[in-house]
């Protein structure tokens, strides 16, 4: 119905953003860049280790050859006594043994400075730069599983490097698919685990010559597949897979697994219970709307130069996306240069994995929200402009504004449906609840990362420089439960947004009529 790209201007910018201490890397592309840096340093260090070892070994080889020649010549003389009876020969043998072997061979071999340097480097690496651990790997794999779930990505496509019909030319090897299958098994995602194990099995079987112990690995895959089947309530299939292994390899650990499974009750094939919002959420995340039973005129983009003198020369480019409650997109609000300055400000702060505001105001890190975030006040020149934009567009007093939260979502990064208001346990440093949300898109996203309103049939693809604004409260200041919204997982790319939440204290008379089309009757929508 609307052309979402009414006023779309996109300039791709590469932003380097470093410095995540103890961050969880997979949740943000920014922190993934740190990991790329870590790997580059590892590469450099390993290469120089190998080179210096190589040099050292070449030296030893030459030395040994030289001594060998002399030694053979001496011992091949008819009389070794005659040879050693020569004073210079005797001197050289003793000198070699006392000096040369010791300083040129024994010492460097035993000290192995290159190895010690490498050891020190690895210590620094894991202490200062942060090195991903098992939980990071699980996080990355969970991210993949999440993408599959929300976007219906077939495991075989993903393994082929195909996402959203595009081939990114990064197909996975059997070992990687196997690793994903094993991790998903450990996470209790048995169905998904089985799919990955099957892909791994096929890949390995089709390229057995590349792998020395192909049969052995095929058995390992079967063993995991057996356990996954058992957990999924298919004990017969599980038993069949194990006996297939034992036919060809009677001593395989499948023997123990067989005994173990026999002692246990098979899992039940339970259908996962999905939250009520799930089908709306996935549909909208995929950019599919329900046919609208909307009454009245379709919404149209328009220019607004009257809202504030600030917009007389450069009118607001408004794209209304929903009337009641009102959701508007304002295009071209921030230039690429301003966005870069915002990132520079954010760079000065340390990004920490986003916590979800809990009832006590204390955040907890959960999979509900997967991103990295930081907070910016309005003191710097660029943030001062941001504050003015919010004030002029919304008509609200910035005294009620929280600092801007800058968040970065990496692949699989998401925020499940949530309202922005608190309703209970309001934060003490602000007057009233969060009356409005202003969200700047600070990047385009190659695939995924839409903002969706699950109760309103609205999805918004991120458009760099645009601002989305809506009210979370009715005019009565009661919460408007229809504003439930979500950030869909990023499929390809990096999503950056800046959120400003405005509190309602003393703002009730400033709420401009034009932004508010809800009425008291919509209170009936409250959950
Ligand atoms: C790694 O080595 C290359 C070339 O030797 C150099 O350009 C690069 O800066 C090094 N990277 C790091 C992180 O030290
Ligand atoms: C799903 O969306 C429709 C509108 O498209 C809405 O009427 C319905 O309440 C939504 N369901 C849930 C559970 O949010
Ligand atoms: C809202 O804005 C439109 C267009 O800018 C204008 O025609 C209308 O009069 C405004 N409504 C109110 C209630 O101010």
pLDDT tens-digit series, residues 316-342:
999 999 999 999 999 999 999 999 999
Examine residue 286 and state whether it is found in any structural domain, yes or no.
no
Whether residue 288 is contained in a domain is answered as no
The ligand 2 atom at the shortest distance from the C-alpha of residue 289 is 5
Q: How far is CA 82 from CA 46, 74, 78, 363, 505, in A?
A: 50, 9, 8, 88, 108
What is the count of structural domains for the chain?
3
Give the nearest ligand 3 atom to 514 CA: 1
Q: Are residues 157 and 173 in the same domain?
A: yes
Alpha helices (H) along 187-266: 190-206, 214-231, 235-248, 254-262
Ligand in nearest proximity to the CA of 481:
2
Using the 3D structure, point to which of 240, 262, 284 is the last residue of a domain.
Answer: 262
**Do 518 and 425 sit in the same domain of this protein?**
yes
Q: What is the model's pLDDT at position 20?
A: 27
Site to probe by mutation for ligand 1, drawn from 44, 46, 48 as the one with most ligand atoms within 8 Å of Cβ, is 44
pLDDT at residue 494, as a whole number: 87
Q: Cα(235)–Cα(227) distance, rounded to whole angstroms?
A: 9
Domain boundary among 100, 132, 164: 132
Residues 477 and 333 in one domain: yes
Residues 319 and 239 in one domain: no
Q: Is the beta carbon of 44 within 6 A of some atom in ligand 1?
A: yes
Mutate to test the pocket of ligand 2, among 453, 454, 484, 522 (most ligand atoms within 8 A of CB): 454
Residues of the chain with pLDDT under 70: 1-28, 30, 77-78, 129, 208, 210, 292-297, 350-370, 506-527
Residues 138 and 122 in one domain: no
pLDDT tens, 380-423? 999 999 999 999 999 898 999 999 999 888 777 788 999 999 99
Domain containing residue 229: CATH number = 1.25.40.10
Whose tokens are 């995929």? That residue is 286
Q: Which residues, 6 or more positions from 124, have their beta carbon under 8 angstroms from its beta carbon? A: none
Q: Is 218 domain-assigned? A: yes
215, 241, 262 - which closes a domain: 262
Residue of 18, 35, 37, 40 to test ligand 1 pocket, by largest number of atoms within 8 Å of CB = 40
The sign of the dihedral angle between the CA atoms of 272, 277, 280, 283 is negative
Report how far residue 466's alpha carbon sits from residue 458's, in angstroms, rounded to the nearest whole number.
Answer: 16
Residue 270 maps to a domain: no
In a domain, residue 289? The reply is no
**Ligand 3 centroid from CA 514, angstroms:** 6
Determine if ligand 3 sits within 6 Å of the CB of residue 514. Answer: yes
Residue nearest (by alpha carbon) to ligand 1 atom 2? 44
- 243 and 255 in contact (C-beta within 8 Å)? no
CA–CA dist 26, 141 (Å, integer): 9
Q: 503 and 378 in one domain?
A: yes
- Within 10 A of 350 (CB to CB), how many other CB atoms are there? 13
CA of 45 to the centre of ligand 1 (A): 9
Which tokens belong to 73?
């010549």
Residue 274 domain flag: no
The three-state secondary structure class of 14 is coil
Tell me which residue range forms the domain holding 357. Answer: 298-525
For residue 405, the 8-state DSSP code is E
Domain CATH code at residue 428: 2.60.120.620
């Amino acid at each position: 119905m609307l052309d979402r790209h009414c006023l779309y201007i996109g300039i791709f910018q590469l932003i380097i953003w470093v410095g995540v201490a103890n961050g969880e890397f997979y949740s943000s592309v920014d922190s993934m860049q740190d990991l790329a840096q870590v790997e580059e340093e590892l590469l450099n260090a390993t290469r120089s280790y190998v080179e210096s070892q190589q040099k050292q070994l070449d030296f030893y080889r030459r030395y040994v050859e030289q001594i060998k020649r002399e030694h053979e010549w001496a011992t091949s003389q008819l009389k070794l006594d005659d040879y050693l009876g020569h004073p210079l020969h005797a001197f050289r043998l003793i000198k070699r043994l006392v000096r040369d072997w010791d300083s040129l061979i024994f010492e460097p071999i035993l000290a192995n400075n290159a190895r010690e340097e490498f050891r020190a480097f690895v210590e620094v690496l894991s202490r200062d730069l942060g090195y991903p651990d098992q939980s990071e790997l699980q996080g990355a794999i969970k991210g993949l599983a999440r993408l599959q779930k929300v976007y219906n990505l077939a495991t075989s496509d993903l393994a082929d490097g195909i996402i959203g019909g595009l081939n990114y030319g990064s197909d996975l090897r059997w070992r990687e698919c196997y690793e994903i299958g094993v991790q998903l098994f450990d996470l209790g995602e048995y169905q998904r685990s089985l799919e990955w194990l099957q892909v791994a099995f096929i890949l390995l079987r089709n390229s057995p010559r590349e792998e020395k112990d192909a049969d052995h690995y095929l058995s390992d895959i079967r063993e995991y597949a057996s356990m996954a089947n058992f957990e999924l309530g298919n004990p017969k299939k599980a038993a069949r897979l194990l006996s297939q292994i034992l036919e060809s390899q009677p001593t395989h650990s499948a023997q123990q697994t067989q005994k173990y499974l026999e002692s246990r009750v098979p899992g039940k094939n339970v259908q996962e219970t999905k939250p009520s919002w799930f089908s709306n959420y996935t549909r909208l995340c995929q950019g599919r709307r329900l046919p609208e039973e909307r009454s009245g005129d379709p919404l149209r983009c328009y220019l607004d130069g009257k809202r504030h003198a600030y917009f007389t020369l450069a009118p607001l480019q408004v794209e209304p996306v929903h009337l009641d409650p009102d959701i508007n997109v304002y295009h071209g609000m921030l230039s690429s240069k301003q966005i870069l300055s915002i990132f520079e400000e954010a760079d000065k702060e340390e990004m920490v994995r986003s916590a979800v505001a809990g009832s006590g105001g204390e955040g907890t890190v959960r999979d509900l929200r997967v991103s990295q975030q930081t907070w910016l006040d309005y003191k710097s020149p660029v943030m001062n402009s941001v504050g003015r934009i919010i004030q002029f567009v919304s008509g609200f007093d910035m005294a009620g504004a929280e600092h801007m939260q800058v968040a970065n979502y990496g692949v699989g990064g998401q925020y499940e449906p949530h309202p922005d208001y608190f309703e209970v346990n309001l934060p003490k440093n602000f007057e009233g609840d969060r009356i409005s949300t202003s969200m700047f898109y600070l990047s385009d996203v190659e695939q995924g990362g839409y903002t969706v309103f699950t109760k309103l049939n609205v999805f918004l693809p991120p458009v760099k420089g645009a601002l989305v604004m809506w009210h979370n409260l009715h005019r009565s200041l009661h919460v408007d439960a229809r504003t439930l919204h979500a950030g869909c997982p990023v499929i390809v790319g990096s999503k950056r947004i800046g959120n400003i939440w405005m509190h309602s204290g003393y703002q009730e008379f400033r709420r401009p009529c034009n932004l508010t089309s809800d009425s008291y009757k919509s209170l009936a929508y409250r959950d």
